[in-house]
Structure 1
Amino acid sequence: MTDNLEEPEKGADFGPHRLSVAPMMDWTDRHCRYFHRQMTRRAMLYTEMVTAPAVIHGPRARLLDFSAEEHPVALQLGGSDPRELARAVRAARDWGYDEVNLNCGCPSDRVQSGAFGAVLMKSPDLVAECLRAMQAETDAPVTLKCRIGVDDDTPEEVLPRFIERQARAGLRHVVIHARKAWLKGLSPRENREIPPLDHGLVLAMKARFPELTICLNGGVTRLAQARELLAAGIDGVMIGRAAYHDPAATLIGADGLWDGEAAPDAVPDPAAGPVEVVRRMLPYVEAHLAAGGRLHQVTRHMLGLFHGRPGARGWRQVLSTEGCREGADTATLLRALSVVTEAAAAA
């Protein structure tokens, strides 16, 4: 169930997924998403991938809980059994996610051993069965995240056939990571960096399937790139590691991608924005600590907030050392912030 911290504006128009933050294992947990939401009110945020069996049999509250302020937020599921995925979607309905996404893009050995992730691209009929089963259990959009191909595939041939098959199953929204996935021989990290990017192919898929919402993932590290891709005709851009390691550069000001105007409550000044973001996080951190949480569970996601700015190293050092200690609290966070503000004043 969601925490009743603050209800999102009713009827808010978040528009198509012009910008989203990618699902990233061990990173995009609820604390990370809340932090990112302080910089953008409109971007779609994704959970870490959660396997269907974990939702069915595991601690649902720990896996699925999120704060109401995180909306719009999507649940990404991993699985390859249509019945299991249907049960997982049904189990998650009460949490009120804005979207449910099926992972067909992760190349890790652990995911492959479960016969899901990128390996599913080799079984398009099975993916279609999974999508139909998921759609039957929710009124929320069921979407798909995939690669342009796997192993020795010819993406120009395989990708359009794959998308067409899923569209016949009712898919209306796909996020395409613009690299192949090599299921053998490359680590997950290498699969994010070594296979060459092909943004042009993803743009070609939008031209070929104009009725679908098609978003591009991979290699986008700055808002300027996102603007260029949107201008080229893609429906949306998904940013991954850059949004985690340098969130201020990628998320502060992101709401301007919607109609060229920022949302009323967006951080107004990119130059002063990161300091304001820290102050916005203080009540959340206090509530987390009061509930028995630890400071570093939140602040580990904030280490890159001042990337490239005076005092960034000191900020990271305080949070990485003092923030992990027993009893670390908001005073620790403010002490880290003072390192930044003093460095900025001296610069």
Structure 2
Amino acid sequence: MWSLKKQAIFFSILSDLLSAGFSLRQSLISIQNIMPEFYSVSHKVKKNLLMGTKISDALKENISKSTYYQLLIAEQHGEMEKSIKQLGSLLERRVEQQNKLKSLMVYPMILFFMLIIIMLGIKFWLKPTINNFGEDSVRTSSIINWTVVGKYSLILVALIIVLYVLKILRWWSKQETITRHHWYSQLLIIGKIYRQYSYYYLSFNLSLLLRSGLDLKQICSFLNEFDKQSLLYQLGQQLRELLDAGSMPDELVKKYPFIPPELKLFLNKGETLENISNELAVYSEVSYRKLLKLIDKLIELVQPILFIVIAIIIVGTYLTILLPIYKTLGGLY
């Protein structure tokens, strides 16, 4: 699979070419000429298109699952150019945010590296010197070697934590995709960003499906063709069960926090599918902007948090040096 940066470059260039009036085939030929690193993939995609393969299937090996399904829906139900433009814009912004995060972490990482060197010096040079000085100055006898007890206690605690983590990972691997996404959306801080991304992703795709004239039952049938491990497939299955039981889609919205709560309002207004689709398209745009703002805010918090952690480590390092000295001096008197 392509890196995030490669995906962003490909979809941005493809979007620009389609907006300029090029056909999909002409755009792929231009990408081959403009970006040699995409030559083999563009040639393969162009060849597959001539054989009747969809562009989403032709690119499936090179793009993420969420990107693949967004392309698949847009390809089958219109708005291909708009969807590619959205993908290019979103992926480009994610690359920018990654680069910004890396630049913010450079200085704290240098400080961390220096602190590690200082701590290693304390552990292998200064602390043994202090301990030897204390042993020469004060001879104390103790039935229990608390240092050995402390070491074995730490090993035991670490072993218990490892076993517990392995148990959680085993349980996690057995969970359905929709259960995992439910869990993601409830995480502290990250959960809010994930929910906002889901609001954008689900509302945008639902807008495309409704615009093509599909009702909810037909949408469920369409999602039934997706991979069984995908989120859209599992949501489609649960929605179909609700509709077959005569229940409203509201139940699904209440059940999962990553589904836009405004969806209840849109679906219960009694408007035409086209109007609902247009409202969802606007809502997805708003959700997209909110998502970018939330990520930017989180990135801005990273550096201050790292500096607080560094400050705590520095204080701990000072205590590691000073406490044994005070203890030794106390023993002398």
**Which TM-score applies when normalising by structure 1?**
0.21
Richer in helix (by share): 2
TM-score between the two structures when normalised by the length of structure 2: 0.22
Larger Rg: 2
Whose strand proportion is higher, 1 or 2? 1
